[in-house]
Amino acid sequence: MTTSDNQNNENIIIREIQDRKAELADNILILCHHYQEDRIYQFADLTGDSLKLARQAAQADKPEYFIFCGVHFMAESADILTGADQKVLLPDAEAGCPMADMATGPEVEAAWQELLTVDNSFQVVPVTYVNSFAAVKAFVGEKGGSVCTSSNAEKVLRWALSRGDKAFFFPDEHLGRNSARALGIAEDEIAVWQRDKVLGGNSEDQIRRARVILWNGFCSVHMEFSAAQVDYWRRKEPGIKVIVHPECRHEVVQSADMYGSTEGIIAALENSEPGSKWAVGTEVNLVKRLIKKHTDKEVHLLSRDSPCKCTTMARITPRALLQTLNSIKEGHPRGQVSVAPEVADKARLSLNRMLDIT
């Protein structure tokens, strides 16, 4: 098939999505994360970062079906927060988040038990990044902790430390460290829990001293950014502003001018002066959209030589979206993400705690 055949096929699919969306308008809402490609993003009824999408799903009483153009943990959170008669559909079951996969419920539970062998009088408050399995959120909910997102991690961590003498943060080491350091916690009060090591690779003394214990998960997309790239842009374009996502390493966040969730990055560019220059350290599809939108500014992807693409988000293709819409029309909705009620009830505790804290 030639490139022009592919383009014709895609155009046909796009028109069919438009038709199906119009036919099903009363029954569906399409939620879209900012990392989706434009060919999906154009169909969004609601867009947002993880926090905004979770809030919007929780508040929407209308549709029978939420079609989640994001990744699996986002669809799970929406299912937990929406009504029993509403269904959440993920157009591709393989659209997961590799970072979330780095902390399973049983792994987290085993680490928690092991931590308490050092001293079972520790008051540990667990915090899980929203990029995690429902089972991890349920564990955190049961233990009195909270979910956080990239836009409220500092606030939630502060809350956790006000309630206990330690916080155990899963699964993103970097978001955890960036938040802890922003709260003034020193590096020697932070321990990293390495999943495959006894006591996470720490001595008992290190665990006793730690105020924050970080699971060693990471996002490989945000690992593609470095402090050297920040230096490059500062040398090349004096006066340029650098903004990055807090899933980047601490030295990248430190050398940037500011950091924020995807929604925060969008707002910073929106509120900036015409003529200003920006290097942005987050997923490429969002950066491409910012470049297209802000024609009066100069916007660059922070990395010049790596793709910075979330390949699991990219599994939500127009074809997959159309199949989902067709399946609703035919009365056999496909791709439902449904969290077991006993898990959902506990996970809801930790999600609602976050919504109350922020």
Closest separation between CB of residue 330 and ligand 13P, Å?
A: 32
Can you tell me whether residue 159 is helix, strand or coil?
helix
Closest separation between CB of residue 25 and ligand 13P, Å?
A: 26
**Binds ligand SF4 by CB under 6 A, chosen from 56, 131, 255, 350:** 131
What does the block give as tokens for 85? 């008669």
Residue 49's binding partner, choosing from ligand 13P, ligand SF4, none, with beta-carbon cut-off 5 to 8 A by kind?
ligand 13P
Determine, following the binding rule CB under 6 A, whether residue 31 of this chain makes contact with ligand SF4: no
- For the chain, the C-alpha Rg in angstroms (whole number) is 21
State the Cα–Cα distance between residues 310 and 294, nearest whole angstrom.
23
**Binds ligand SF4 by CB under 6 A, chosen from 221, 248, 316, 328:** 221
Site string for ligand SF4, 52-81 (x = CB under 6 A): -------------------x----------
**Binds ligand SF4 by CB under 6 A, chosen from 88, 175, 284, 313:** 313
State the Cα–Cα distance between residues 171 and 96, nearest whole angstrom.
14
State the Cα–Cα distance between residues 198 and 12, nearest whole angstrom.
55
**Binds ligand SF4 by CB under 6 A, chosen from 111, 130, 140, 219:** 219
Q: CB-wise, 193 or 218, nearer to ligand 13P?
A: 218
For 167: left if phi > 0, alpha if psi spans -120 to 50, otherwise beta; the answer is beta
- Phi, psi values for residue 55, rounded to 5°: -65, -45
**CB 222, CB 250: distance < 8 Å:** no
**CB 77, CB 57: distance < 8 Å:** yes
Closest by Cα among 14, 7, 12, 3 to 317: 14
Q: CB-wise, 281 or 335, nearer to ligand SF4?
A: 281
Q: CB-wise, 76 or 283, nearer to ligand SF4?
A: 283
Applying CB under 6 A, which residues contact ligand 13P? 34, 49-50, 131, 149-150, 219, 247, 261-262
Residue 98's binding partner, choosing from ligand SF4, ligand 13P, none, with beta-carbon cut-off 5 to 8 A by kind?
ligand SF4
Determine, following the binding rule CB under 6 A, whether residue 310 of this chain makes contact with ligand SF4: yes
Closest separation between CB of residue 310 and ligand SF4, Å?
A: 3
- Phi, psi values for residue 275, rounded to 5°: 90, -10
Closest by Cα among 254, 175, 107 to 167: 175
